Structure 1
Amino acid sequence: MEVHADHEYYRRNLALYGAEYPIPDFPTDRAVRRIPIAGKGRLWIGRSLAGRHRVPPEIDLALDPGVSHRHGLLQQQDDGSLVLIAQATANGTFMNGACDEVELGRPIELQDGDRIHLGVWTTITVRTAPR
């Protein structure tokens, strides 16, 4: 998995919601984080909450204020494939630049190169093969 602050996704959110909601400035640290998934079984995507005694998600997107505590779940299947299961969130989960939200609770099989958009600026790119 590659997690990064996506300027194009941020600009889209700014254009759609900037007049209604205060959207924070785009982060200056835009380094790509690589997160291995092989053999992990499942990984929660979310945002740790400061001062709360909850276990932080395995993919912690605490710097993106639009990400929910439990935003989604990546689950490795018995055959090695990977699925995304979107959770109920305030801001939704989107795939591959689409404007329609991912259906909640329905496993979506992921392919190499798929992009998961969430929060204000975060994109997670699926990497099933080494790069």
Structure 2
Amino acid sequence: MSTDVPPDPPADVTAGTWVVTVWADRDYHELVLARGGADDTSTPGEFPADLPPREIVLTAEETRVGRGGPDTPEIDLGGPPRDPGVSKLHAVLLALPRDRWVVIDAGSTNGTTLNYAEAPLTPDTPVALRSGDCIHVGAWTTLTVERR
């Protein structure tokens, strides 16, 4: 007897809620400074040590990351305090079928990196994300993506 029920998908693509935690990452900030900094980056004394993390639930198919202006992104990093290395439109998170996400650097001035890598992402090129990945933008901002 055959059934028309498809097999369960692998655990890494089952539905869940995706959450981005935005936080001031001292380790990333020190890497930026050690690598020569980014345009208009802050000095170590300006690192926002008391900035609490904030969570954003990903609900749209496209989530823009950047700093506020006339076209405010869904994840607004305009401050206060403002991370000086974040572009107006820095990166984009896109939902794909089967509960997957990618990050795309939107041609930012200072680049976007993933998981403390030295090489920035290639602009306009989707990079697959896994739960727990860290997206680094600006001088000290890290966005940790998690499926819960």
TM-score by length of 1: 0.87
Aligned match of 1:42 in 52, 58, 62?
62
How many residue pairs get aligned? The number is 123
| Change in CA separation of 1:21 and 1:77 when aligned onto 2, cut-off 3 Å | closer
Letter in 2 for 1:2: T
State the distance in 2 between where 1:99 and 1:27 align.
23
Counterparts of residues 4-23 of structure 1 (less than 5 Å): 4-17=23-36, 23=42
Q: 2:110 aligns with which of 91, 96, 100?
A: 91
Match of 2:77 among 49, 61, 81: 61
TM-score, normalised via structure 2 length:
0.77
Structure 2 alignment gaps of length 5 or more = 1-19
Contact 2:41–2:138 (Cα < 8 Å) also in 1: no
Unaligned runs of 5+ in 1: none
Kindly tell me: are residues 100 and 81 of structure 1, through their superposed partners in 2, closer, same or farther at Cα, counting changes over 3 Å? Answer: same
> What does the per-residue CA deviation read over 1:6-60, in whole Å, with 9 as the maximum and x for residues that have no partner?
0011111122225x966241013321110001x31110000113xxxx2200000
In 2, the alpha carbon distance for the partners of 1:21 and 1:15 equals 15
Contact 2:21–2:53 (CA under 8 A) maintained in structure 1: yes
Cα root mean square deviation, aligned: 1.6
Taking the aligned partners of 1:122 and 1:36, their CA distance within structure 2 comes to: 18
> Which aligned segments of 4 or more residues in structure 1 are displaced greater than 4 angstroms?
none
Give 1 or 2 for the bigger CA radius of gyration. 2
